[in-house]
Amino acid sequence: MQKFFALAGLLALSPFLLILGVCIKLESKGPIIFSQLRVGEHGRQFKCYKFRSMYLPGSEQWREAEKMKSDREGICQKMYSDPRITKIGRIIRKLSIDELPQLFNVLKGDMALVGPRPHLTTEYVQYSSDTLVRLHCKPGLTGLWQVSGRADTTFEEQLELDKTYIANQSWYFDMKILVATVPAVLMAKGAY
Protein backbone atom coordinates (compact mmCIF):
# COMPACT_ATOMS: atom_id res chain seq x y z
CA MET A 1 0.00 0.00 0.00
CA GLN A 2 2.85 2.39 0.83
CA LYS A 3 4.45 1.77 -2.56
CA PHE A 4 1.13 2.59 -4.22
CA PHE A 5 0.93 5.94 -2.37
CA ALA A 6 4.58 6.69 -3.19
CA LEU A 7 4.01 6.02 -6.89
CA ALA A 8 0.78 8.04 -6.91
CA GLY A 9 2.62 10.93 -5.20
CA LEU A 10 5.45 10.86 -7.73
CA LEU A 11 3.03 10.80 -10.67
CA ALA A 12 0.89 13.62 -9.26
CA LEU A 13 3.92 15.77 -8.46
CA SER A 14 5.91 14.97 -11.62
CA PRO A 15 5.28 18.31 -13.44
CA PHE A 16 6.35 20.24 -10.32
CA LEU A 17 9.37 17.98 -9.77
CA LEU A 18 10.51 18.49 -13.38
CA ILE A 19 10.25 22.28 -13.09
CA LEU A 20 12.12 22.19 -9.78
CA GLY A 21 14.84 20.04 -11.34
CA VAL A 22 15.33 22.59 -14.12
CA CYS A 23 15.56 25.43 -11.56
CA ILE A 24 18.16 23.54 -9.50
CA LYS A 25 20.23 22.87 -12.63
CA LEU A 26 20.02 26.48 -13.83
CA GLU A 27 21.08 27.96 -10.49
CA SER A 28 24.26 25.98 -9.89
CA LYS A 29 26.46 23.23 -11.29
CA GLY A 30 25.95 19.66 -10.22
CA PRO A 31 23.36 16.90 -10.27
CA ILE A 32 19.69 17.62 -9.60
CA ILE A 33 19.39 14.71 -7.19
CA PHE A 34 22.12 13.46 -4.92
CA SER A 35 22.31 10.48 -2.61
CA GLN A 36 23.72 9.98 0.86
CA LEU A 37 24.49 6.72 2.57
CA ARG A 38 21.98 6.22 5.40
CA VAL A 39 21.29 3.47 7.90
CA GLY A 40 17.93 1.73 7.69
CA GLU A 41 16.07 -1.27 9.03
CA HIS A 42 18.29 -3.81 10.83
CA GLY A 43 21.33 -1.58 10.22
CA ARG A 44 21.20 -2.06 6.43
CA GLN A 45 22.81 0.83 4.57
CA PHE A 46 21.07 2.36 1.55
CA LYS A 47 21.32 5.38 -0.73
CA CYS A 48 18.86 8.03 0.44
CA TYR A 49 17.81 10.41 -2.36
CA LYS A 50 17.31 14.17 -2.04
CA PHE A 51 17.12 17.19 -4.30
CA ARG A 52 20.50 18.91 -4.25
CA SER A 53 20.21 22.05 -2.13
CA MET A 54 23.91 22.93 -1.83
CA TYR A 55 26.72 24.11 -4.04
CA LEU A 56 29.24 21.39 -4.92
CA PRO A 57 32.08 20.57 -2.49
CA GLY A 58 35.23 22.50 -3.30
CA SER A 59 33.31 25.65 -4.15
CA GLU A 60 33.94 29.04 -2.56
CA GLN A 61 30.82 28.54 -0.41
CA TRP A 62 32.24 25.32 1.07
CA ARG A 63 35.56 27.03 1.85
CA GLU A 64 33.62 29.79 3.62
CA ALA A 65 31.63 27.23 5.63
CA GLU A 66 34.82 25.54 6.83
CA LYS A 67 35.61 28.71 8.80
CA MET A 68 32.23 28.68 10.54
CA LYS A 69 31.06 26.92 13.70
CA SER A 70 27.91 24.84 14.02
CA ASP A 71 24.93 26.55 15.63
CA ARG A 72 23.96 23.24 17.22
CA GLU A 73 25.65 21.20 19.89
CA GLY A 74 26.09 17.46 19.61
CA ILE A 75 26.25 15.00 16.75
CA CYS A 76 23.95 16.74 14.25
CA GLN A 77 25.91 19.78 13.15
CA LYS A 78 24.04 22.61 11.37
CA MET A 79 24.51 26.30 10.67
CA TYR A 80 21.51 28.63 10.53
CA SER A 81 23.14 30.68 7.75
CA ASP A 82 25.02 27.96 5.89
CA PRO A 83 26.73 29.57 2.86
CA ARG A 84 26.81 26.22 1.05
CA ILE A 85 23.01 26.26 0.57
CA THR A 86 21.75 27.68 -2.74
CA LYS A 87 18.84 30.16 -2.95
CA ILE A 88 16.50 27.45 -4.20
CA GLY A 89 17.99 25.13 -1.60
CA ARG A 90 16.86 27.43 1.23
CA ILE A 91 13.27 27.27 0.00
CA ILE A 92 13.12 23.54 -0.64
CA ARG A 93 14.76 22.77 2.72
CA LYS A 94 12.37 25.07 4.58
CA LEU A 95 9.39 23.24 3.07
CA SER A 96 11.06 19.78 3.08
CA ILE A 97 10.64 19.61 -0.71
CA ASP A 98 14.26 18.45 -0.94
CA GLU A 99 13.10 15.14 0.57
CA LEU A 100 10.46 14.32 -2.06
CA PRO A 101 12.89 12.08 -4.04
CA GLN A 102 12.73 9.77 -1.01
CA LEU A 103 9.43 8.59 -2.51
CA PHE A 104 11.76 6.55 -4.77
CA ASN A 105 13.27 5.06 -1.59
CA VAL A 106 9.74 4.06 -0.52
CA LEU A 107 9.20 2.43 -3.94
CA LYS A 108 12.48 0.54 -3.59
CA GLY A 109 11.49 -0.68 -0.12
CA ASP A 110 14.34 1.11 1.70
CA MET A 111 11.98 3.49 3.49
CA ALA A 112 8.38 3.83 4.61
CA LEU A 113 6.14 6.89 4.46
CA VAL A 114 6.32 7.16 8.27
CA GLY A 115 9.14 5.98 10.50
CA PRO A 116 12.30 6.96 12.36
CA ARG A 117 14.64 9.52 10.84
CA PRO A 118 17.15 7.86 8.46
CA HIS A 119 20.48 8.64 10.12
CA LEU A 120 23.84 9.13 8.48
CA THR A 121 26.44 6.40 8.98
CA THR A 122 28.53 8.87 11.04
CA GLU A 123 25.58 9.27 13.43
CA TYR A 124 24.85 5.54 13.56
CA VAL A 125 28.32 4.66 14.85
CA GLN A 126 27.61 6.87 17.88
CA TYR A 127 24.45 4.97 18.91
CA SER A 128 24.33 3.52 22.39
CA SER A 129 23.11 -0.09 22.73
CA ASP A 130 19.62 1.00 23.89
CA THR A 131 19.28 3.20 20.79
CA LEU A 132 19.59 0.26 18.38
CA VAL A 133 15.87 -0.39 18.86
CA ARG A 134 15.24 2.40 16.34
CA LEU A 135 16.55 0.06 13.64
CA HIS A 136 13.65 -2.37 14.18
CA CYS A 137 11.60 -0.70 11.45
CA LYS A 138 12.13 1.13 8.18
CA PRO A 139 13.07 4.81 8.33
CA GLY A 140 10.38 7.23 7.19
CA LEU A 141 9.90 10.08 4.77
CA THR A 142 8.23 11.76 7.75
CA GLY A 143 8.02 10.80 11.37
CA LEU A 144 7.38 11.85 14.92
CA TRP A 145 10.65 13.82 14.85
CA GLN A 146 9.41 15.89 11.87
CA VAL A 147 6.17 16.92 13.56
CA SER A 148 7.90 17.54 16.91
CA GLY A 149 10.40 20.26 16.05
CA ARG A 150 12.55 18.93 13.20
CA ALA A 151 16.06 20.41 13.40
CA ASP A 152 15.20 22.24 16.64
CA THR A 153 15.44 18.88 18.40
CA THR A 154 18.76 17.50 19.63
CA PHE A 155 20.14 14.18 18.40
CA GLU A 156 19.18 12.61 21.73
CA GLU A 157 15.62 14.00 21.47
CA GLN A 158 15.32 12.63 17.92
CA LEU A 159 16.34 9.19 19.15
CA GLU A 160 13.77 9.34 21.98
CA LEU A 161 11.06 10.39 19.51
CA ASP A 162 12.02 7.48 17.25
CA LYS A 163 11.79 5.04 20.18
CA THR A 164 8.40 6.48 21.15
CA TYR A 165 7.18 6.01 17.57
CA ILE A 166 8.34 2.38 17.44
CA ALA A 167 6.73 1.60 20.81
CA ASN A 168 3.40 3.04 19.63
CA GLN A 169 3.53 2.15 15.95
CA SER A 170 0.13 1.54 14.39
CA TRP A 171 -1.86 2.41 11.30
CA TYR A 172 -3.74 5.07 13.28
CA PHE A 173 -0.52 6.63 14.66
CA ASP A 174 0.95 6.73 11.14
CA MET A 175 -2.16 8.54 9.86
CA LYS A 176 -1.94 11.08 12.70
CA ILE A 177 1.71 11.77 11.84
CA LEU A 178 0.98 12.08 8.10
CA VAL A 179 -1.81 14.59 8.80
CA ALA A 180 0.40 16.53 11.28
CA THR A 181 3.22 16.67 8.71
CA VAL A 182 1.33 19.12 6.47
CA PRO A 183 1.11 22.01 9.00
CA ALA A 184 4.61 21.20 10.34
CA VAL A 185 6.06 21.59 6.83
CA LEU A 186 4.01 24.69 5.98
CA MET A 187 5.01 26.43 9.22
CA ALA A 188 8.64 25.47 8.53
CA LYS A 189 9.38 25.43 12.27
CA GLY A 190 12.77 23.89 12.91
CA ALA A 191 13.69 23.77 9.22
CA TYR A 192 16.91 25.31 7.91
Residue 123, domain extent:
2-187
Q: Please report whether residue 89 resides in a domain.
A: yes
- Whether the per-residue pLDDT at 149 is higher than 60: the answer is yes
pTM of the model: 0.86
Q: Please report whether residue 192 resides in a domain.
A: no
- Whether the per-residue pLDDT at 80 is higher than 60: the answer is yes
pLDDT tens profile 111-131? 999 999 888 888 888 777 877
State residue 191's pLDDT score: 56
pLDDT tens profile 17-74? 999 999 999 999 999 999 999 999 999 999 999 999 998 888 888 777 677 665 555 5
Domain count, the chain: 1
Q: Please report whether residue 83 resides in a domain.
A: yes
- 54 near 89, Cβ under 8 Å? yes
